């Protein structure tokens, strides 16, 4: 009974990092970190598996910046797997399994495919895989749109001369061929004339444009996807792995639950899924983290109740302030060298370094990214200001099926069997200010982390974790931390009063 009140829990606003002796300048800092046991990323940021934060567009943008997006699971399996596919095809040194079109398809069908995959043209192949041509914007330029439905690909495609290259061509040779023939796409063929891959100019440009991008061994962007542990969760997990997901996040509000641990064990042992990295969560105690490590996870995700849209701590009265929760989880994970991910509750860039010093190796963000161009949903105008909607996955809107949109979100809160009109919500629906492109927001967040590393005197993330020390502050200290006794007269790119 003595330890009924075990200890005081601290969160981001309760602590500051001590400045230390430094010979690091901010631009020297290297933010490379471990996402999981086997995957490293160059910036320690994940976008949250929420239906107002991460779909394929956000996942692509996050991976290009050097982080990773976790696709939410509040959609049918085929939709989520389709999004994994979109990310994996979006940018690569060579596309090994390109989207193609048949010669007898209409231009209208082609147009739909190109829109769906956001590409400007496709190789044309016979049903047996033989490459017969290529069709791009250039070929379509002189066909009026009203004739798209009645015109076949074979009648306008470029067939001869067709510039191709053998599979295995070196990157530089491919670039030279593209330049020499002034073409944008180079289909690769095997010795039988079957299409075996595709190299595009865009991919060359992109890899120069996004030097930090998170990529797999084939040069494709990394992507993660959320799964549950209930109902068709196994079918979802295998479909996502099949589609190419690099990471599965077993996504629940209480990761210290038997069903959840069973799912992790199955994922890590079944031949269909055991090669994929598995993140488990969420937990907020040392024991919870230890249970996940024992079940075999590749990273432990921490956070019960810190989220900006979360009401778990008031509805259920349960949670642990986030800095303490991360530290407790780290105590359980350090021996097994399993990385910790701090999920939720970050308000400013300075909170990233605090999470890392507490023991996390990366952080997951919802609210800080929900206002970017790449999050799902349209801009809304309120009193002349621009906002984007942001809601908890345990909000009424996310947990209830509406019209033909079925909800898949209830089991995250262990209410998979509860009728829609009886769910107990643990989140709210809201809006956040519009923030422009993700690249600009990520730049400020990572830039803030570089400043933290400079102040602490750490060139790398492990060094930051080793050297970083906290001072606990009081409400007066917090007041002093924020701008005070002055009226802000201009917007700041990385600060707004909450």
**Positions at the binding site for K(+):** 305, 307, 310, 480-482
What part of residues 345-364 is at the interface with ligand RVP (CB under 6 A)?
345-346, 364
Nearer to ligand RVP, 274 or 406 (CB): 406
d(CA 118, CA 200): 13
The residues with which 453 forms a beta bridge, in sequence order, are none
Residue 427 touches ligand RVP, criterion: CB under 6 A: yes
Nearer to ligand RVP, 132 or 365 (CB): 365
Token pair 């956040």: residue? 432
Residue 278 touches ligand RVP, criterion: CB under 6 A: no
Q: According to CB under 6 A, which one of 186, 302, 393, 438 is a site residue for ligand RVP?
A: 393
Closest approach, Cβ 108 to ligand RVP, in A, equals 40
Residues in CB range of 484: below 8 A, 6 or more apart: none
Q: Does residue 323 contact residue 469 with C-beta atoms inside 8 Å?
A: no
d(CA 435, CA 494): 10
Residue 67 touches ligand RVP, criterion: CB under 6 A: no
Residue 44 touches ligand RVP, criterion: CB under 6 A: no
* 46 backbone dihedrals φ, ψ, rounded to 5°: -120, 145
For residue 440, the SS3 value is: helix
d(CA 125, CA 99): 10
Known binding-site positions for NAD(+): 251-253, 303-305
Active-site option among 73, 310, 333, 467: 310
d(CA 448, CA 348): 9
Residue 29 touches ligand RVP, criterion: CB under 6 A: no
Known binding-site positions for IMP: 308, 343-345, 366-367, 390-394, 426
Pairing of strands 362-365, 340-343: parallel
Candidate ranges 137-145, 158-166, 213-221, 337-345; the one touching ligand RVP (CB under 6 A): 337-345
Radius of gyration of the chain (CA): 24
Residue 48 touches ligand RVP, criterion: CB under 6 A: yes
Q: According to CB under 6 A, which one of 367, 371, 448, 468 is a site residue for ligand RVP?
A: 367
d(CA 174, CA 448): 39
d(CA 219, CA 275): 18
Question: Could you report how far apart the first and last alpha carbons of the chain are, in Å?
Answer: 39
Does the annotation mark 310 as catalytic? yes
Closest approach, Cβ 294 to ligand RVP, in A, equals 22
Candidate ranges 29-37, 124-132, 154-162, 386-394; the one touching ligand RVP (CB under 6 A): 386-394
Residue 319 touches ligand RVP, criterion: CB under 6 A: no
Nearer to ligand RVP, 31 or 282 (CB): 282
| Helix segments in 144-257, DSSP class H | 153-156, 171-181, 201-209, 233-243
Nearer to ligand RVP, 244 or 345 (CB): 345
Residue 50 touches ligand RVP, criterion: CB under 6 A: yes
Alpha-carbon distance values, 449 to 27, 106, 443, 471 (Å): 10, 51, 10, 18
Q: Does residue 250 contact residue 279 with C-beta atoms inside 8 Å?
A: yes
Q: According to CB under 6 A, which one of 244, 366, 448, 468 is a site residue for ligand RVP?
A: 366
Residue 309 touches ligand RVP, criterion: CB under 6 A: yes
Pairing of strands 40-41, 185-189: unpaired
Active-site option among 64, 73, 412, 435: 412
Residue 344 touches ligand RVP, criterion: CB under 6 A: yes
For residue 218, the SS3 value is: coil
Q: According to CB under 6 A, which one of 310, 325, 333, 446 is a site residue for ligand RVP?
A: 310
Q: According to CB under 6 A, which one of 426, 442, 449, 464 is a site residue for ligand RVP?
A: 426
Does the annotation mark 412 as catalytic? yes
Token pair 């809006």: residue? 431
Candidate ranges 216-224, 286-294, 304-312, 318-326; the one touching ligand RVP (CB under 6 A): 304-312
For residue 387, the SS3 value is: strand
Residue 307 touches ligand RVP, criterion: CB under 6 A: yes
Candidate ranges 14-22, 72-80, 306-314, 459-467; the one touching ligand RVP (CB under 6 A): 306-314
Residue closest to 301 by CA, chosen among 276, 332, 280:
280
The residues with which 158 forms a beta bridge, in sequence order, are 134
Residues annotated as catalytic (active site), given as ranges: 310, 412
Residues that bind ligand RVP (CB under 6 A): 48, 50, 282, 303, 307-310, 312, 343-346, 364-368, 392-395, 426-427
């Amino acid at each position: 009974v003595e330890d009924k009140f075990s200890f005081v829990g601290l969160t981001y606003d309760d602590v500051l990092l001590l400045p230390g002796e430094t010979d690091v300048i901010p631009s020297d800092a290297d933010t490379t970190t471990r996402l999981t046991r086997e995957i490293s990323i160059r910036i320690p940021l994940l976008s949250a598996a929420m239906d107002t934060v991460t779909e394929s567009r956000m996942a692509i943008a996050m991976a290009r910046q050097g982080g990773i997006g976790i696709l939410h699971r509040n959609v049918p399996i085929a939709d989520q797997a389709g999004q994994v596919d979109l990310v994996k095809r979006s940018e690569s040194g060579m596309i090994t399994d390109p989207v193609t079109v048949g010669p007898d398809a209409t231009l209208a069908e082609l147009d739909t495919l190109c829109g769906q995959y956001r590409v400007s043209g496709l190789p044309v192949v016979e049903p047996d895989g033989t490459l017969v041509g290529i069709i791009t914007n250039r070929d379509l330029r002189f066909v009026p749109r009203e004739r798209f439905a009645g015109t076949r690909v074979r009648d306008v495609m470029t067939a001869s001369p067709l510039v191709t290259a053998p599979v295995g061509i070196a990157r530089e040779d491919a670039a030279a061929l593209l330049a020499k023939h002034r073409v944008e796409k180079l289909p690769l063929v095997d010795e039988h004339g079957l299409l075996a891959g595709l190299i595009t100019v865009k991919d060359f440009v992109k890899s120069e444009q996004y030097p930090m991008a998170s990529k797999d061994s084939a040069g494709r962007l990394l992507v993660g996807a959320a799964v549950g542990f209930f109902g068709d969760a196994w079918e979802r997990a295998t479909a996502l792995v099949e589609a190419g997901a690099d990471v599965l996040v077993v996504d629940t509000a209480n990761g210290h639950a038997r069903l959840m641990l069973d799912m992790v064990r199955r994922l890590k042992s079944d031949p269909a899924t055991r090669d994929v990295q598995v993140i488990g969560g969420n937990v907020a105690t040392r024991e919870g983290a230890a249970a996940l490590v024992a079940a075999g996870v590749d990273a432990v995700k921490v956070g019960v109740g810190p989220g900006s849209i979360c009401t778990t701590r008031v509805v259920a009265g349960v949670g642990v302030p986030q800095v303490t929760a991360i530290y407790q989880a780290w105590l359980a994970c350090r021996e097994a060298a399993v990385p910790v991910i701090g999920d939720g509750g970050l308000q400013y860039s300075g909170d990233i370094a605090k999470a890392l010093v507490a023991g996390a190796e990366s952080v997951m963000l919802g609210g800080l990214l929900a206002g970017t161009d790449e999050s799902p949903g349209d801009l809304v105008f309120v009193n002349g200001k621009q906002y984007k909607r942001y809601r908890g996955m345990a909000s009424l809107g996310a947990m209830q099926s509406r019209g033909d949109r079925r909800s898949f979100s209830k089991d995250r809160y262990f209410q998979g069997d509860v009728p829609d009109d009886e769910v107990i919500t643990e989140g709210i629906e809201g809006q956040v200010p519009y923030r422009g492109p993700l690249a600009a927001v990520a730049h400020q967040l990572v830039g803030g982390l570089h400043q933290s590393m400079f102040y602490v005197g750490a060139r790398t993330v492990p060094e930051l974790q080793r050297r970083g020390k906290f001072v606990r502050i009081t409400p007066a200290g917090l007041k002093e931390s924020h701008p005070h006794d002055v009226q802000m007269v201009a917007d700041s790119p990385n600060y707004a009063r909450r």
